[in-house]
Amino acid sequence: MSDLVLSVVLAGVSAVCYAAAAIFQERVAASAAGRPEPEPLWRSARWWGSVALNGSGSVLHVLALGFGPLSVVQPLGVLTLVFVLPLAALWVGRRAGRTGWRGALLVSAGLAGLLALTASPPARTLSGPDQLTLAVVALAVFLSLVVAARGAARPAVRSALLAAAAGVAFGIASVFTKTVASDWSPAALVAQAPGIAVTAALAVIGLLASQASYRDGGLAAPLATVTVVNPVVASAAGIALLGEGFRYGAAGALPALAAAALTVYGLVVLTAHRGEAGRRAPAERGPRGTREDAGPAPVFPERTEVREPVEETDRPALPCAVV
């Protein structure tokens, strides 16, 4: 198995972990919404389950970056939103429908095009001064987005800004991870300590920002924002700072942009599908208490009320290991 194929497999499994973690995070945020005094996150078993899944996804992501270029591994993170569809159907009984699966196919086709145009990764990493500059710029952008989110009056705008901040943090963390993974050796551990510390800090603040974005925007819209901003930021840094690129030089740039545009359009379809599902009228009870559904259940329905997990009798429960 070549290094490129191995990196693709590792990135795919990592996306599955991130998708499962996102579902858990959304359920935690939904259960806390509307409560005068929400329960602290550290008391929620589901939140700790999401942390464990995010950690597993991060480890697999690091391994993928060790074998493949940023311009391949980061766009594959978009599969997180695709894998949410079957996982949501399996765990909480939310069917995707034709529109959801059409978006998933568009995303997959766009990613396949990017993989076909991927060139071999160059042997270049960030120097010390470049790492410091990139860390300062990333932190400034992150804080600017968070401050803008705090001042936003509309929940949807606030959620989008926080999700964008999380995407920036995750994308730049991957750049540092790529540098650490490429130069990794036990003898150079002390020299790599600053890069490792920056990576950990960006991962933590990215996780907190993404959790906050789910509170105001549900699951699909913030997740789509993160999965778009993350690879765009990381790939741009990889091309500008690490010398990565695509096959056929300038001639391959146009097909690569077309494949990227197809991927983004697929994400827009998935997000629009969620918005349409959220606007559907809730099912009403018949005269005998049976549910009269007008159509298939949405993948990511808007939550209009808060119920404890023990009261959710109309959908399958989560695995007992994370309840």
Q: What is the mean pLDDT of the segment spanning 25-44?
A: 67
A 10 A CB-CB count for 154 gives: 9
Determine the pLDDT at residue 267: 77
| Dist CA 219 CA 311 (whole Å) | 21
Determine the pLDDT at residue 94: 67
Identify which has the larger pLDDT, 297 or 264.
264
Residues whose CB falls within 8 Å of the CB of residue 276, separated by 6 or more in sequence, listed in order: 99, 298
Q: Does the pTM exceed 0.75? A: no
Q: What is the mean pLDDT of the segment spanning 260-265?
A: 85
- Model pLDDT for residues 111-152, shown as the tens digit of each residue: 888 877 776 555 567 777 888 899 999 999 999 999 999 998
310 — pLDDT class (breaks 50, 70, 90): very low
Question: 237 near 134, Cβ under 8 Å?
Answer: yes
66 — pLDDT class (breaks 50, 70, 90): confident
| Dist CA 95 CA 37 (whole Å) | 32
pLDDT at 291 over 90: no
Determine the pLDDT at residue 301: 43
pLDDT at 98 over 70: yes
Determine the pLDDT at residue 162: 94
Which residues partner with 118 through β-bridges? 246
Identify which has the larger pLDDT, 85 or 172.
172
Determine the pLDDT at residue 93: 65
Determine the pLDDT at residue 72: 80
Domain boundaries, the chain: 3-280+294-311
- Model pLDDT for residues 205-256, shown as the tens digit of each residue: 998 999 899 887 776 678 778 878 888 898 888 877 877 777 776 677 788 8
Mean pLDDT of the chain: 75
Which has the minimum average pLDDT: 133-137, 143-147, 197-201, 306-310? Answer: 306-310
Identify which has the larger pLDDT, 176 or 273.
176
A 10 A CB-CB count for 186 gives: 5
Query: With helix as H, strand as E and coil as C, how does the chain read?
Result: CCHHHHHHHHHHHHHHHHHHHHHHHHHHHHHHCCCCCCCCHHHCHHHHHHHHHHHHHHHHHHHHHHHCCHHHHHHHCCHHHHHHHHHHHHHHCCCCHHHHHHHHHHHHHHHHHHHHCECCCCCCCCCHHHHHHHHHHHHHHHHHHHHHHHHCCCHHHHHHHHHHHHHHHHHHHHHHHHHHHHCCCHHHHHHHHHHHHHHHHHHHHHHHHHHHHHHHHCCHHHHHHHHHHHHHHHHHHHHHHCCCCECCCHHHHHHHHHHHHHHHHHHHHHHHHHHHHHCCCCCEECCCCCEECCCCCCCCCCCCCCCCHHHCCCCCCCCCCCC
pLDDT at 33 over 90: no
Q: What is the mean pLDDT of the segment spanning 286-293?
A: 39
Q: What is the mean pLDDT of the segment spanning 103-112?
A: 85
Determine the pLDDT at residue 297: 41
